[in-house]
Amino acid sequence: MKTFALNIQNLKCHGCANTITNQLSKLKGVSNVEVHNDTEEVMFSAEQPEQELVVKQKLAQLGYPAIDDPNSLSQKAKSFVSCAVGRMSKS
């Protein structure tokens, strides 16, 4: 297991963090997901190094692209939806 840390965009609140934690925890081989709103960082453990790319892709799908990736209007809109879902779901 290796631990990774990614700085992401559009992270606003505990709703965002909730969605990210729930969705990344569903990925095979990914565990120990932690979201730090204050530093806009997502930390996780992965069985294979290639899983970092899978996590980055999933985050982008949810509207939270990595800090060095493009942040389009559609990405921002997706993050608002993911945030709302996270606020409504129980962790």
Per-residue CA distances from 50 to 1, 2, 17, 26, 47 (Å): 12, 11, 23, 16, 9
Give the bridge partners for 7, in sequence order.
41
Q: What is the pTM of this model?
A: 0.91
Give the bridge partners for 8, in sequence order.
66
- Per-residue pLDDT tens digits for 24-58: 999 999 999 999 999 999 999 999 999 999 999 99
Q: Categorize the per-residue pLDDT at 3 as very low, low, confident or very high, splitting at 50, 70 and 90.
A: very high
Strands (E), the chain: 2-7, 30-36, 41-46
Domain ranges of the chain: 2-88
Query: Going by CATH, does the domain composed of 2-88 fall within 3.90.930.60?
Result: no
